[in-house]
Chains A and B, each alone.
Chain A
Amino acid sequence: MHSIWAVARNTLAQALRMKIAAVVILLLLILLPLMSMVMDGDGTLLGKLQTFTSYGLGLISLLLCILTIAISTYTLSNDLKCKYIFLVVTKPIRRFELILGKLLGIILLDILLLGIFSAILYGCTRLIPKITDAPESQKFQANAEFFTSRIGIKTELAKDLINNRARQRYNELKSSNQIPEDMSYARIMSELYVQEAMKVKRVDPGQTKEWDFEDVRVKNADDPNTFIFVRYKYQTAAPPPDEKVYGLWQVGDLRQFKAGAAKIKTPVYNVERDEVIRVTHEFAVPANAIAEDGYIGISFFNSTALNQTAIIPEELELLYQTGNFTANYFRAVLMILVRLVFLAVIGISLTTWLSFPVAVLVCITIFFVGLTNTFILDAIGGVGATAGMIYSILLKPLLWLLPQFDGVYNPNGYIVAGRTIQWTFLATTALFTLLVKGLLMLLAGMLIFRRREVARVAA
């Protein structure tokens, strides 16, 4: 253990005395406060906060990733190249302890730098509302949507139902010989799917649409100060004259009406809104609207008296708060740390058998694949043809071994939207990234290094 610690200290000293660490530190120290001043987003306070944290976290993550890649590929390979290692491995230290020591050193450096810079970013983020003179409504919005930690439940489109209806329509058209001859089956079907999906989504004047959410569990739901939020965006069949939609919403246990019950146990809230189309909106209702069994229904009524066109409410989402911003920010930082540790593992593992330039190249490639890997894996999953099969057999295991830094694994998205990174998700991500993928690479590296003739010069 003492030898691991000795190597870790030495690696830390090496990294801190390397110019690259100084450059990264300097860059961040200059850029972060500067960004907090010049970034404006869409002009609102929320927009400013979102742009700043998004770029800030992105910059910290990127620079520290590069630093980690550089140091982790440099430290062991340089020891080998400059033969420093002769004086280390001949002492009472096992080869795997040397690797673990180097890794520990880099992780400590990452924790140190990430801690410092995320603290600076946090400080700036908290400072922005105080130094900006924004109207109260904007401050309220920022608190409700940014300085919070919420979980969202989205409604899902009944794809099977829509598919069935599309197929049914196709058959009807076919029997009545209305199929255009110059169109392929796939194209007609996709067209029909879009049409049928629109039918399901649209709410014609005078009609009501309802969405059901099961098993919604909110802490302190009875507290009148606990809120749930409904988030949505309007599209319309024809543009309304003032670009506005008048919506009549109902949130609560809607089953109570259907049962025809005389007395209503849980409150149902009526919400009236007039809002511009194509922009995301949000309203809050007290959380006591949720029924005891966790059910809550949301309905939208398109009144003929107020609107003249069919309305398509999109991206409907029910949100509720699970914690505070600070804790969520901390989890976002931990998620970046998982990323950094994984890169350090890869860097060191690669240099047990590759030289510095090659290892850097491979490492950077892995990093960039990681930045789009979730997207790639999804895309491959979507391809159904034979070519897709081949890709998924050959490429998928390889891509699986590589990290995923994008999509749900990107902490930026959560912080910008004020969404909760759940501990369970963070833990499983860390476990899977580090203890499965990372450990596999590390063990391979240790195995190679154990057998390596360190005095052998590469030709």
Chain B
Amino acid sequence: MVTTENQYAIETISLTKIFPDWWGRAKVIAVEDLNLQVLQNEIYGFLGPNGSGKTTTIKMLLNLLHPTKGASFVFGGSVDSPAISGRIGYLPEESYLYRYLTARETLDFYGRIFGLPADIRKARIETLLEMVGLSGMGNRQIATFSKGMARRIGLAQALINDPDLLILDEPTSGMDPMGTRQIKDLFVELARRGKTILLCSHLLADVEDVCDRIGILYGGRMQVEGTVRQLLQQKDEMQMRTGQLSGRALEQIKRIVSSEGSPIDIEKPMDKLESFFIKVVAKARQEKQRTSGVEAGTGISGFLAEKPVVQHENILDKLVGAHPQKGPEEPEKSDRVEATKSPPVSQTQPPEADYGLLQQLTRQKTEAPLPSTETVQKEPEKPSVKKDILDDLIRKKSSGSTEITQPEKKEDTENA
């Protein structure tokens, strides 16, 4: 197959995957009508909660699954062609490595499949083992490795062919914070060398400071897509980042700001993407989009909590829970949400549902947010809800241990 050099490293056209049940009826719509375009030399953050269809998309890209509808191209062609698969490095969601091989044998095996000459193979294996910090354990069997160690070999394996495109499915899962940091530095370095990376994760910390562009998937559909900056900037708000200030200094600042006639709110800095992500997912949920992935979890299971957790009546949960999956014949109720246009906003009670989601996300966070710029201009997200769910959340959650706060934001809707 002739591969025409394409501007897209990855392109999917209306990619859809429906898993049928035993009788051949549609059971799970894992990915629906996905049009993904990843440019060459771009780090693309492919985000979404568990079960939103990220892995399924990757599997279709790599021909491990056949799309029910639509098509996908890598470097303008099919991964079936060795010329194209030879340019890809892939790290699956778990490290599916032969347990009976040693780390070195593992890398050697994959190197051989790529047809690397012996000297290059040997040199690369040593460099990669060094890089992932396992050079001393090259002769140990993978079976004896911990999950994080196997993960590192998985990463080394994905790099053995010096790929032009890296497809990484939750690369930091099971990895320690140092490893995570290392990996992120690696991504930046690889991108600098002209590589393309599809970084798939539900861990926002993984993507936020390395990705050029992100897309958020929910229920198999792309909810928003854009550069991190575009998505997070709020134009009519400003944020100052300082060291710890005395009360007196704060009072002075407040006075100055009030004299400008602007409201002021002083908080500790926080993750930006995280709140955005939650908002997107919450919105999708509120619009009763079905997902075959995880629904909002309830806080902590009753039997685990020391004190009984107060279960709030949650209308949203009820609504969503009643129709976890829509039948294929049922008409689609929600519009596809994009960064540029927003659908009509429905008036719904702010959901507690997101308390669970928030917890789930923060629990897995491995790193403290990295303040990067002194001032970040903020722009209200375009698709937003009448009443910010997080505001409500914070007020109700008085005893929670999660340390996430959200700058008080004005209610804002474009179409209001």
Given A92-B82, A455-B59, CB of A14 within 8 Å of CB of B100: yes
- Assembly CA distance A7 to B101 (angstroms): 13
Query: A390 — which chain B residues lie within 8 A by C-beta?
Result: none
Report if A9 contacts B (CB, 8 A).
yes
- Assembly CA distance A88 to B110 (angstroms): 8
| B157/A90 in contact, CB under 8 A | no
| A84/B97 in contact, CB under 8 A | yes
Report if B105 contacts A (CB, 8 A).
yes
**Cβ-neighbour of B96 out of A5, A13, A17, A87 (below 8 A):** A87
| A5/B105 in contact, CB under 8 A | no
| B115/A13 in contact, CB under 8 A | no
| B64/A455 in contact, CB under 8 A | yes
A50 to chain B, nearest CB (A): 42
B-facing residues in A53-94 (Cβ within 8 Å):
82-94
Residue among B97, B105, B109, B113 with the highest chain A CB neighbour number at 10 A: B113
Given A93-B113, A455-B64, CB of A87 within 8 Å of CB of B82: no
Report if A6 contacts B (CB, 8 A).
yes
A7 to chain B, nearest CB (A): 7
Residue ID in chain A nearest B169 by CB atoms: A86
- Assembly CA distance A89 to B110 (angstroms): 11
- Assembly CA distance A2 to B82 (angstroms): 13
Query: A2 — which chain B residues lie within 8 A by C-beta?
Result: 112-113, 115
| A92/B115 in contact, CB under 8 A | yes
Given A13-B100, A14-B100, CB of A86 within 8 Å of CB of B112: no
Given A87-B90, A91-B114, A92-B85, CB of A82 within 8 Å of CB of B96: yes
A459 to chain B, nearest CB (A): 6
**Cβ-neighbour of A86 out of B88, B96, B109 (below 8 A):** B96
Residue ID in chain A nearest B62 by CB atoms: A90
Query: B161 — which chain A residues lie within 8 A by C-beta?
Result: 91
- Assembly CA distance A80 to B110 (angstroms): 17
- Assembly CA distance A82 to B143 (angstroms): 13
Residue among A14, A83, A86 with the highest chain B CB neighbour number at 10 A: A86
Query: A84 — which chain B residues lie within 8 A by C-beta?
Result: 96-98
Query: A87 — which chain B residues lie within 8 A by C-beta?
Result: 90, 92, 96-97, 110, 157
Report if B299 contacts A (CB, 8 A).
no
| B82/A94 in contact, CB under 8 A | yes
Q: List 18 A-B contacts (CB under 8 A).
A: A10-B101, A82-B96, A83-B92, A83-B94, A83-B96, A84-B96, A86-B96, A87-B92, A87-B97, A87-B110, A90-B63, A90-B64, A91-B161, A92-B82, A93-B82, A93-B113, A94-B82, A459-B22
* Interface residues of A, Cβ cutoff 8 Å to B: 2-3, 5-7, 9-10, 13-14, 17, 82-94, 453-456, 459
Given pairs A90-B63, A90-B79, A93-B82, 11 additional interface contacts (CB within 8 A): A2-B115, A6-B109, A9-B112, A17-B100, A85-B96, A86-B96, A87-B90, A88-B113, A90-B85, A91-B161, A453-B66
The 10 closest A-B pairs by CB, nearest first: A92-B82, A6-B112, A455-B64, A92-B86, A83-B96, A17-B100, A2-B115, A455-B59, A91-B113, A90-B62
